[in-house]
Amino acid sequence: MKIINPILKGFNADPSIIRVKDTYYIANSTFEWFPGVQIHESKDLVHWQLVSHPLNRVELLNMRGNVDSGGVWAPDLSYADGKYWLVYADVKVTEGAFKDCTNYLTTADDICGPWSEPIKLNGVGFDASLFHDEDKKYLVQMEWDHREYHHPFNGIKLTEYSVKEKRLLPETARIVYKGTDVKLTEGPHIYKINDEYYLFAAEGGTIYAHQEVVARSKELFGPYLTQDETFLTAFFDGDNALQKCGHGSLVDTPDGEWYFAHLTGRPWNHKTESSHAPRGWCTLGRETAIQKVQWDENGWPHIVGGRQGSLIVEAPRNVYAQAYPPVQEVKDDFDETKLNINFNTLRIPFTRRLGSLTDRPGYLRLFGRDSLTSTNEVSLVARRWQAFNFEAETKVDYRPYTYQQMAGLTNYYNSKHWSMIHLTWHEELGRVIEVVENNRGRFTSYLKNRVIAVPESLESVYFKTTVHTDSYTYSYSFDGNSWNELPFTFDAAVLSDDYVLQTSGGFFTGAFVGVVNIDYSGYELPADFDYFRYEEKGEEYENR
């Protein structure tokens, strides 16, 4: 049996992996998407299923107004004392001299919750993890330094955590590791193996220079000696299918084998002149891969198959393959009273403020809220792009009476980078179809004075988007059978981390597709969506 990478396709960054008895869990960053933190489970490291979103209420995560790519950075999942521990940051400022964030801790007896009320830890730096030593616990985190004459990544700091007092003990805090000359040392995890402390950390930034390094010490507080060679990186192999390899965590199997789950990206359009995308565009965002690890005679870990990371990896011995249902049913008819677990909203939970699955049974009703440029209250329900080629389709009932009302289908990266096909209102034609795009904050209407009038007798209109790796299109139908593809081809690179990085610090997520209702007139006009179909068409992908 083989592990085929990436194991978690689409935007699933910063994996934190653990094993509890015979079950593996991975927690991933979700940034400004709600609910916060995705947790997948597996019995064999090959097949994975999304099972939980721990931060599913505002008491645990309040992101209203958060900047693009703020919110939940690099959560850490651990298991000790008979319960699950989750450390996470809510980042409010991402650009400039400061990284304002608050780190929290929540626990649960079951991976699916309920999760406890959050304990505020500190704001020293992001990417914090919790190390459970034999008799004490420590928060392990990078420390941020805003001073212009210092490097902002000041090193890895340890601070003791008091379980009894439910707080950190700042008087115990010490910098224990400064990293290598590559700098940007972050994402630390400490493991005690064979009476030595191993510190794994990411460096180089979450771009093509990304890497993972390992250091070790006889004592928890150091000094730490760095391994002679970089543990994991694809920086020196521009042709490797997995790029941006770094930021991850270690796990062992019941039989004593070792694996490392890590962040990666799969670029297309290998030839590009962009300094930010020297190896292509990662429209699926930062994904999760896993590599097998072996230990040498000197006690240092190495990636089996080479430090660049492999697409195909040997699965653990003595495990039985466990198949899970597909990532999501091809078609969701909105017959349930809760959203499918693969759907997300922006910054705020799906409540009556945004919509309902019961007001009109069999339909997802969305109430019109802010535009897609807003960071406050957007009535958007979306899921990740998880394949380079797919179709997404919906059917909407909507009767706008002002051009300030729009409802339809969108491909979205962040508030400055998105497009949509929607129903709206025109002074002369009444209800019409329009296609728009926001690219680096510049808004464009593609149909302009050629908007498509919708027959008054029609109750519903169908919308579809078709993605072909490097481009995508929109189509509409009045009967669900005969489709009209609009003559506009959109550049999929606009929805990639690498493109957004060129003009903005908010480049940590990935492309989403979903349904949206905008009503900036403030009258909250509802739109009813009959179904949502997401169907992958095969990878048809090569790193070229």
- Whether cis (ω within 30° of 0) applies to the bond prior to 223 is yes
Residue 283, pLDDT > 90, answer: yes
**DSSP-assigned letters across all residues of 497-524:** HHHHHTT-S---S--EEEEEEEETTSS-
User: Per residue in 56-105, pLDDT tens?
Assistant: 999 999 999 999 999 999 999 999 999 999 999 999 999 999 999 999 99
Q: Look at 41-55, 120-134, 266-280, 409-423 and tell me which has the smallest mean pLDDT.
A: 266-280
Residues forming the active site:
14, 186
What was the pLDDT predicted at 327? 60
Residue 201, pLDDT > 60, answer: yes
What was the pLDDT predicted at 378? 98
Banded pLDDT at 269 (limits 50, 70, 90): confident
What was the pLDDT predicted at 272? 54
What was the pLDDT predicted at 541? 46
What was the pLDDT predicted at 318? 85
Rg (CA), the chain: 23
Q: CA geometry: angle at 295 spanning 289 and 296, to 5°?
A: 135
User: What mean pLDDT is predicted for residues 194-215?
Assistant: 97
What was the pLDDT predicted at 204? 97
* Closest alpha carbon to 115 in 124, 123, 107: 107
Token pair for residue 314?
């040997």
The one-letter code for the residue type at 422 is H
The one-letter code for the residue type at 284 is L
Banded pLDDT at 273 (limits 50, 70, 90): low
User: Per residue in 305-357, pLDDT tens?
Assistant: 999 999 999 999 988 777 776 665 689 999 999 999 999 999 999 999 999 99
What was the pLDDT predicted at 542? 43
Token pair for residue 106?
């929540």
Q: 396 vs 451, which has greater pLDDT? A: 396
Percentage of the chain beyond pLDDT 90 is: 92
In 311-400, at which residue ranges do the beta strands (DSSP E only) sit? 312-314, 331-332, 345-346, 355-356, 364-367, 379-384, 389-397
The one-letter code for the residue type at 171 is E
Residue 506, pLDDT > 90, answer: no
331-536: same fold as 2-314?
no
| CB contact at 8 A, 40 and 26 | yes
Coil vs helix vs strand at 448: helix
| CATH no., domain 2-314 | 2.115.10.20
What was the pLDDT predicted at 271? 52
| CB contact at 8 A, 536 and 386 | yes
- Whether cis (ω within 30° of 0) applies to the bond prior to 118 is no
Q: Is 331-536 assigned to CATH 2.60.120.200?
A: yes
User: How many helices and strands (H and E) does the chain possess?
Assistant: 1, 41
What was the pLDDT predicted at 90? 98
Domain boundaries, the chain: 2-314, 331-536
Average pLDDT in the chain: 95
Q: Taking the CA atoms of 369, 94, 201 and 113 in sequence, report the sign of the dihedral they define.
A: negative
Q: How far, in Å, CA of 191 to CA of 208, rounded?
A: 27
Q: Taking the CA atoms of 144, 150, 153 and 156 in sequence, report the sign of the dihedral they define.
A: negative
What was the pLDDT predicted at 50? 97
